[in-house]
Structure 1
Amino acid sequence: MRLVTRRNLLIGGGALIAAGAAGTAFAQRPQAFRNATRITVTAQPLSRLSATDPDRTQFGSLFFRSGLNLRSDVSAFGGFSGLWRSAKGQELVALADNAQVLKARIETSDGRLSGLSNAVMAPLLLSNGQLARRSRYYDTESLTIADNVAFVGVERNHAVIRYELDREGALIEGVPIPVPKELKDLPSNGGLEALALAPQRSTLAGALVGIAEGGTGFILTGPRQGAFEMAGRNGYDVTDLAFLDTGEAIVLERRFSLFGGFGCRLRRVAASAIKAGARVDGETIYESEASHQIDNMEGLAVHREGRETIVTLISDNNFNASLQRTLLLEFSLEA
């Protein structure tokens, strides 16, 4: 994420001095825990997405189910840029910008999100046992998990690290995988914001796909490796990516202006669109409005509940709970 965006954290205007203070807070992000540590997370339910139209549930191709405003007394809580939910949606892993993860169980009541239980913050560990936070791989921005293996995208010192996921929620045995020179040459603060593994029904079956904030994408593994470009529109930047079972992809994008605040957009990309050399676009299935209860939405996860496809978003509060919120929003996707 670009530093200028992180500095400007006030929603809908405000003082530039305060925005500068927020940038200082980002520069002094809290240290990750040394070991997996249980924490308490409180959750304020959100029953509506629109503050001005409380009865509205459909937003583009999405139907709002419920949301949570998450808080913790732990200073290292927040900064979530990547998100994963288990196949049935019961377990959550969120990647923070300071090389650690939150692992928790999602609680529901009457089909709505009600809170998180068994919350654990755990550091990312490299294969030599070193904390990733104290290595060149400290700025972690993107996450995907499959079969107890995780891939994490690292910014500034651009890399993708392969981890094993242990039972306590720690990502251990981190080893960098080979990446193309074009990825390493990205701007310092413009690395991989999105990572996802293509499903078997995709033409990229099993391939690891990543997209940088500026829209440069990479098929990183498999026989169809190569670079592609996401078509940019209206000032949005890519912040995450997830594949549907069909092979289609959902791309999460975010924009910010001092007077307009944060904006959020989701685009649906055809299964055959992502390929080496392609310019990739997709239909907009959701775009936020000023009345919507969003923040700096950076993490995206997709799972199935029966016949429903569930889309979950999480926001990055830049470790500044006084100015921003950690929101967990859940939608169902129109068939």
Structure 2
Amino acid sequence: MRKLLVALLFCLVPGSAGFPQAEVKVVATPVPLDPDDPARTTVGRLRYLGGWQLTSRQRDFGGYSSLSVQGDRFLALSDTGRYLRFRMAAPGVVSDIRFGELPAFPAYDGRKGDRDSESMTIGPQGDVWVGFEYHNAILRYSPDLTLLQAIAFPPAMKDWSSNSGPEAMVRLAGGRFVVFAEGRAIAPHVHAALMFPGDPTKARNAPYQFGYRAPRDGYVPTDAAQLPDGRLVILHRRFGLLDGFSAIVGVADPARIAPGATLTSELVAELKPPLTVDNMEGIAATRDGDRTILWIISDDNRVPIERTLLLKFAL
């Protein structure tokens, strides 16, 4: 009952569509795929089309955990409930910059975990679904991110780890939703995942559980998107004390998802040192003519030793 009352209260909280920062720029500095071989343009089945380190003096910049790209317009959501909208009409030229904050969160206990937004997916009408760790909640917002439309604490996610919950979420073309847990293991190297038959903020859409195994052990899913051909593209991350961050991209057929089954993905590419890589957490897929384009963004954890990278590949 308490959660229901809180949800109803949040629906009345006004939000902001984002505020322009005319005096604060987002600077995109080109980076090579391979600093040791700047002419290199391929890794696995990906062709490097360009990449940039994004920087800004705006206080809310950084920490981006999920990404949406529609045409030349970008929406990057941080793990603090704040977002960045911008346009990149030409490579490396960032314009129409807007910083904003989500209008409501799963709780208001004063902890960072109350607003730990880790996953995002957008519907055909523009509605935005966001998955939150700690409270293992899914919230649906209006397209302009000014209004909370619905909130849910799915019972199937109740026992997911507080700091490794709904890390990746994607709405499939037919209206189903897939949610991947970052840390919930149901078997060795197999992550818990859920298939919702529809909007996960509606109680009638009870999900079933399946397992997900990354192409290589030791990697955890951090984001997912649906490709134009219907397959899922899944981004993964690994951190090692000796070699730092690395990432892999895999593709999987959602038709293979079934109750109790284990979905595996096919390795597309691995990004690891000395290649340009960081804490890669967000992925988006777009179409450019006959090419499928992948955009990948990193979460710099808002610390100086990490970077916000935006990388562009052709699959």
1:148 to 115, 126, 144: 126
1:105 to 66, 76, 87: 87
Count of residues paired in the alignment? 283
Query: Deviation of residue 262 (structure 1)?
Result: 0.3
**1:9 is matched with which residue?**
none
Q: How does 1:126-145 map to 2 (within 5 A)?
A: 126=104, 137-145=114-122
Contact 2:130/2:139 (CA < 8 Å) preserved in 1?
Answer: yes
Contact 1:224/1:275 (CA < 8 Å) preserved in 2?
Answer: no
2:170 to 191, 196, 200: 196
Q: 2:194 matched to 1:218?
A: yes
**2:60 is matched with which residue?**
76
Contact 2:136/2:153 (CA < 8 Å) preserved in 1?
Answer: no
Contact 1:219/1:227 (CA < 8 Å) preserved in 2?
Answer: yes
**2:148 is matched with which residue?**
173
Deviations 1:228-283 (A, max 9, x none): 11114331111001111222101100000121110100111023122322101111
Q: 2:164 matched to 1:187?
A: no
**2:247 is matched with which residue?**
264
d(CA) in 1 for partners of 2:301, 2:113: 20
Query: Deviation of residue 174 (structure 1)?
Result: 4.3
d(CA) in 2 for partners of 1:118, 1:133: 32
Query: Deviation of residue 157 (structure 1)?
Result: 0.7
Change (3 A) 1:194 1:209: same
Query: Deviation of residue 127 (structure 1)?
Result: 9.5
TM score, norm. by length of structure 2: 0.84
Counterpart of 2:142, as a letter, is: E
- Secondary structure of the structure 2 residue equivalent to 1:165: coil
Q: Which runs of 5+ in 1 are unaligned?
A: 1-32, 200-204
d(CA) in 1 for partners of 2:251, 2:132: 25
- Secondary structure of the structure 2 residue equivalent to 1:235: coil
**2:139 is matched with which residue?**
161
Quote the RMSD (CA, aligned, Å): 2.4
Change (3 A) 1:224 1:178: closer
Contact 2:108/2:114 (CA < 8 Å) preserved in 1?
Answer: no
Contact 1:224/1:276 (CA < 8 Å) preserved in 2?
Answer: no
1:92 to 55, 70, 74: 74
d(CA) in 2 for partners of 1:178, 1:319: 28
Deviations 1:52-80 (A, max 9, x none): 22222121111000011100101210000
Change (3 A) 1:246 1:93: same
Q: How does 1:1-335 map to 2 (within 5 A)?
A: 36-39=18-21, 40-46=25-31, 48-86=32-70, 89-108=71-90, 113-126=91-104, 137-146=114-123, 147-166=125-144, 170-177=145-152, 179=154, 181-199=155-173, 205-214=174-183, 215-222=191-198, 225-232=207-214, 233-320=216-303, 322-333=304-315
Change (3 A) 1:134 1:260: closer
d(CA) in 1 for partners of 2:268, 2:113: 37
Relative contact order higher in (CA < 8 Å, ≥ 6 apart):
1
d(CA) in 2 for partners of 1:79, 1:193: 14
**1:17 is matched with which residue?**
none
Q: Which runs of 5+ in 2 are unaligned?
A: 1-14, 184-190, 199-204
d(CA) in 1 for partners of 2:113, 2:237: 26
Deviations 1:7-41 (A, max 9, x none): xxxxxxxxxxxxxxxxxxxxxxxxxx977222321
d(CA) in 2 for partners of 1:83, 1:142: 8
Contact 2:135/2:153 (CA < 8 Å) preserved in 1?
Answer: no
Contact 2:66/2:119 (CA < 8 Å) preserved in 1?
Answer: yes
d(CA) in 2 for partners of 1:208, 1:37: 30
TM score, norm. by length of structure 1: 0.79
d(CA) in 2 for partners of 1:207, 1:238: 19
- Secondary structure of the structure 2 residue equivalent to 1:206: coil
